[in-house]
Amino acid sequence: MAQPDNLEARVTALETQVRTLVDRVSHSARDAAAARVLAGGADRDVSEIRTEIREFREQNTRVLNAMREDLTDLRSHVDTGFTEMRGKFDAAATGHQQVVSLLNTIIAQSDHKDQ
């Protein structure tokens, strides 16, 4: 069987190419492993942020609900206070009207005596 003249050169070139490819595959494997580590870290970070946002929303909802309850209680308290004051003003107005009636009676009696 006849051997080509450049067989040794071709084998040497192939060996060089194989070494280059092995180096590239090794670098690619390391890069892929690093990418998986980074992706795992990013996934954990996103998960933590989601948890923090969910907790913030829940806390915000609790605060808003407490404020609504406080405002409802305050409104009820103010309404009750206004109702009480309205009753007291009505009673005072009735008392004033009685005083006016008594004064009118006294004035009428005084005018009647003077005549």
Per-residue model confidence (pLDDT) at position 3: 61
Whole-Å CA distances, 94 to 101, 104, 110 = 10, 15, 24
Report the predicted TM-score, pTM, of the whole model to 2 decimal places: 0.49
Per-residue model confidence (pLDDT) at position 111: 82
In degrees and rounded to multiples of 5, residue 81 shows phi and psi of -60, -45
**DSSP codes joined into one string, 43-77:** HHHHHHHHHHHHHHHHHHHHHHHHHHHHHHHHHHH
Using CA atoms, how far apart are residues 97 and 91, in angstroms rounded to an integer? 10
Per-residue model confidence (pLDDT) at position 47: 94
Per-residue model confidence (pLDDT) at position 112: 82
pLDDT digits (tens, 9 = 90+) for 81-111: 999 999 999 999 999 999 999 999 999 998 8
The amino acid sitting at 101 is S
Using CA atoms, how far apart are residues 71 and 65, in angstroms rounded to an integer? 10
- Average pLDDT in the chain: 92
Per-residue model confidence (pLDDT) at position 99: 96
pLDDT-flagged residues of the chain (< 70): 1-4
